[in-house]
Amino acid sequence: MDDLDSKIKRLEEILVGLEGGVLVAFSGGADSALLLSEARRILGSACVAVTADSPTLPRSELDEARRFAERLGAEHILLKTHEMEDPRFVANDPRRCYYCKSALFEAMEDLAGKRGDRWILFGAIADDLGDWRPGMEAARERGARAPLLEAGLTKAEVRELSRRKGLPTWDKPQAACLSSRFPTGRPIRLGDLGRVERAEDLLHSLGFRQCRVRLLDSGARLELEVGDLARACGEGVREKICAALGRLGFEFVVLDLDGFRSGSLNPKRKEKDGGLIGNA
């Protein structure tokens, strides 16, 4: 038995041991999609998908989550969350993700109580342990479990297992809530969320699968896969991007030559004492 097979076995053992109803926090990304698929396969109708419906979730991601849950035949609950009503979240300090995930898991805890469900699951994986993830603190406080992480699965293994199982999310580009496009300390505003979403929709329509539009003062910083940088500067494409983002109110557009980097605006930790050293 290779390492991945042993992790799959461990994941199945974890899920089999979850007696009582299960709510899966389902964003539609590769990690939570695999978790939902396996939980649904093993637990059947006792497993329910829950997606937080808020302005920070792109509508395209919500549509894909709906289609995936329908494909599995899983019950899918859209849960309105209200992080935009929390002044701490709107202020966008380094613990923004903690406030957001606290709101989500509190709402899921209330939902579980009303339904009689016993477990709340979320899709953290082994790779997340080395990143800035204050949302995991909120999950632990609410007693939520991360079976993929408990089984030791990495992102590469999640993708390989998803590919084996024929899940359409096996090669889905990494996604994150729209508030991750805001530098720490810049307030989260509904208008800016909408502008970022429309800008990224444009880039997707031009064939850029993995992209981020990061807010930069009065302009935008584009992160694309390194292999797409030259095409973004090609004849006709650059003009379309600049014109469209200009219409959205961005005064200038810069292209990040480092390419796409997940969490490039996340606060970084000092290895020695865990203190903040600013944004990348």
- CATH (domain of 94): 3.40.50.620
- Here the tokens at position 5 are 């097979």
Rounded Cα gap, residues 185 and 104, in angstroms: 22
Contact 247/214 with Cβ under 8 angstroms?
A: no
Contact 199/192 with Cβ under 8 angstroms?
A: no
61 is in which domain, residue-wise?
A: 3-164
The answer to whether residues 105 and 205 belong to one domain is no
Count of structural domains within the chain: 2
Q: What per-residue confidence (pLDDT) applies to 266?
A: 60
Here the CATH number for the domain that contains residue 208 is 3.30.1340
- Cβ partners under 8 Å of residue 85, min gap 6: none
Question: Mean pLDDT in each 10-residue stretch from start to end of the chain (280 residues)?
Answer: 89 96 97 98 98 96 98 97 95 95 95 96 92 83 96 98 98 94 97 98 97 97 98 96 98 97 61 33
The answer to whether residues 215 and 113 belong to one domain is no
Rounded to the nearest 5°, which phi and psi values hold at 159? -65, -40
Domain-located, residue 206 = yes
The answer to whether residues 246 and 209 belong to one domain is yes
- Here the tokens at position 246 are 């200009």
The answer to whether residues 108 and 22 belong to one domain is yes
Partners of 47 in the beta sheet?
22
Q: What per-residue confidence (pLDDT) applies to 263?
A: 66
